[in-house]
Amino acid sequence: MFRKLLFVSCLLPATAWGGACAGQGCRYAFFGKDENGCLEIRNSGREDIQVTVYTAGSGAISFFNDTGPTEKVYKTSRTCVPAVDYVRADAKLEGGIFSPPTH
């Protein structure tokens, strides 16, 4: 529990954390690092987003981030991307807007 609280407190918007993020999805993308120093991105919005992360060591990595969850960023071979390698990101909305049912 403490680790989760610590991680959430470490999440920062991309513009405040070492690099820039371009695109509408950036409003909901928060970047952080886990206890191993791996880059993680949380989607705090109501829509799914597609994020392309540009790093110094791993190049460009694209993935979907569903509403709510935190995604650890991996390069090929499922090796974590170090948070210190983050340069910038592009994020776009992928739809999936939550709306209550209408009668």
How would residue 102 be classed by pLDDT, with cut points 50, 70 and 90?
low
C-alpha to C-alpha distance for 8 and 31, rounded to whole angstroms: 10
Residue 24: C-alpha distances to residues 36, 82, 90 (Å):
29, 25, 9
CATH 2.60.40 fits 2-93, yes or no: yes
How would residue 2 be classed by pLDDT, with cut points 50, 70 and 90?
very low
Domain locations along the chain? 2-93
pLDDT in tens, 4-63: 444 444 555 554 455 689 999 999 999 999 999 999 999 998 889 999 999 988 789 998
